[in-house]
């Protein structure tokens, strides 16, 4: 297989295992490139990419832009807050105006689940979903699984616990799809109110006790409480959440084995994990960020229709 089976990257759900493996093999090459003194290649010299961010982002926005520039693409950036969206322009009109300027690929983050799928149906460009509400965040799942593969040499057969606010998390859903396609076992752990009612139907184990989840897993992916997506209170207080679901060093050190700690960022230090856990040698959080550039380079390169 030398190219993706899809024109867009809307969600991991649409990818085949072979697509993911191709992205990883391509990312291996780009990881080598970005660690050279000259970190740039001419692969996308004739490609123009627009980054449309209708919601805040640090890692994803900067990582995509860096990936695009490392591939020598022409890049334009769009932030909804400073655009004509605030004057009432629709999403399709906005994007068609951008495409009229001869843009080839749209990278979009949007607060509404399904926004990337909607756009792909209505405009003539490759769409990359950079996170759509509580639906999917496919490049985050790719960089997470790539980082697990890098650490363990494989993903197949590993046990991964995703801990925290599963209900509001696009990272959780994309990670579940991606890890399962690659043969990992997945568990979700959190308070009952932050676990979707039918989450077990996705084929994941469900655990409400953090210690049991940590004792089971090889890797714990600690998610942030998504307060910006919570319209009601899902637990009595942050203090109580920290007591039951916060990962601290004494809990980590009390386990029988050394598990690997991941976090997609942004971290709320002292809530889902303490600083000494986030900064410990068991955490691969900054490796995830580094791998984000290589995996996004791979996705953009392959979507631009280039063979490996």
* Residue 109 annotated to the active site: yes
Give the C-alpha separation, 163 to 90, whole Å: 36
What phi and psi values does residue 158 have, to the nearest 5 degrees? -80, 160
Could you give the string, one character per residue 129-148, with x where binding to ligand CP holds by CB under 6 A and - elsewhere?
A: --x-----x--x--------
For strands 185-189 and 159-163, give the pairing: parallel
Judge residue 15's burial from the number of C-beta atoms within 10 Å of its C-beta, 0-12 exposed, 13-18 middle, 19 or more buried: buried
Tokens describing residue 234: 């899902």
Among 157, 183, 203, 266, binds ligand CP (CB under 6 A): 266
Beta bridge partners of 159: 185
Beta bridge partners of 188: 162, 206
Would you say 123 or 289 has its CB closer to ligand CP?
289
Q: How far is the CB of 59 from ligand CP (least distance, A)?
A: 4
For the CB of residue 58, give the shortest distance to ligand CP in the complex, in Å: 4
When the beta carbons of 164 and 264 are compared against ligand CP, the nearer one is 264
Nearest to 267 by CA among 256, 278, 259: 278
Total interface residues for ligand CP by CB under 6 A: 10
**In the bound complex, what is the minimum distance in angstroms from residue 305's beta carbon to ligand CP?**
26
Residue 87 is a catalytic residue: yes
Look up 5 and say whether it is catalytic. no
Catalytic residue, candidates 36, 87, 197, 233: 87
Q: Provide, rounded to whole angstroms, the least separation between the CB of residue 281 and ligand CP.
A: 22
Identified catalytic residue from 8, 31, 70, 109: 109
CA distance 254 to 252: 5
Rounded least distance, CB 224 to ligand CP, Å = 9
Is 60 among the catalytic positions?
yes
Q: Given the residues 26, 60, 260, 295, select the one marked as catalytic.
A: 60
Contact 159, 185 (CB under 8 A): yes
Identity of the residue, 114 or 216, whose beta carbon is nearer to ligand CP in the bound complex: 114
Residue of 98, 220, 264, 302 interacting with ligand CP (CB under 6 A): 264
CB-CB neighbours of 151 under 10 Å: 16
Q: Which stretch binds ligand CP (CB under 6 A): 99-107, 191-199, 246-254, 259-267?
A: 259-267
**Residue whose C-alpha is closest to residue 61's, from 99, 106, 108, 14:** 108
- For ligand CP, the closer CB: 57 or 280: 57
Based on C-alpha coordinates, what's the Rg of the chain?
19
| Paired strand residues for 114 | none
Instruction: Compare residues 133 and 264 and give the one whose CB is closer to ligand CP.
Output: 264
Catalytic member of 31, 70, 110, 137: 137
Quick note: the x/- pattern for ligand CP over 37-66, rule CB under 6 A, is --------------------xxxx------
Distance CA 197, CA 184 (A): 22
> Any idea of the CA torsion for 265, 251, 241, 196, to the nearest 10 degrees?
70
Residues annotated as catalytic (active site), given as ranges:
59-60, 87, 109, 137
Residues near ligand CP, by CB under 6 A = 57-60, 131, 137, 140, 264-266
């Amino acid at each position: 297989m030398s190219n993706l089976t899809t024109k867009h990257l809307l969600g991991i759900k649409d990818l085949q295992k072979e697509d993911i493996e191709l992205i990883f093999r391509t990312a291996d090459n780009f990881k080598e490139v970005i660690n050279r003194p000259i970190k740039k290649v001419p692969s996308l010299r004739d490609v123009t990419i627009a980054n449309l961010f209708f919601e805040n982002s640090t890692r994803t926005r900067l990582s995509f832009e860096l990936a695009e520039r490392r591939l020598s693409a022409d890049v334009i950036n769009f932030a909804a807050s400073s655009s004509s969206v605030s004057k009432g322009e629709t999403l399709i009109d906005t994007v068609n105006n951008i495409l009229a300027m001869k843009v080839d690929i749209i990278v979009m983050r949007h607060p509404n689940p399904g926004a990337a799928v909607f756009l792909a149906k209505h405009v003539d460009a490759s769409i990359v979903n950079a996170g759509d509400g509580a639906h999917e965040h496919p490049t985050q799942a790719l960089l997470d699984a790539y980082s697990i593969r890098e650490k363990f040499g494989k993903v197949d057969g590993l046990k991964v616990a995703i801990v925290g606010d599963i209900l509001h998390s696009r990272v959780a859903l994309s990670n579940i799809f991606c890890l399962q396609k690659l043969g990992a076992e997945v568990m979700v752990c959190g308070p009952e109110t932050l676990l979707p009612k039918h989450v077990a139907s996705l084929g994941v184990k469900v655990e409400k006790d953090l210690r049991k989840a940590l004792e089971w897993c090889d890797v714990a992916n600690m998610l942030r409480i998504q307060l910006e997506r919570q319209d009601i209170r899902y637990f009595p207080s942050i203090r109580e959440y920290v007591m039951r679901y916060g990962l601290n060093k004494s809990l980590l050190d009390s386990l029988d084995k050394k598990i690997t700690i991941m976090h997609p960022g942004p971290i709320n230090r002292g809530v889902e994990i303490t600083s000494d856990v986030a900064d410990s040698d068991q955490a691969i959080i900054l490796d995830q960020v580094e791998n984000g550039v290589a995996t996004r380079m791979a996705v953009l390169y392959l979507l631009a229709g280039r063979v490996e």
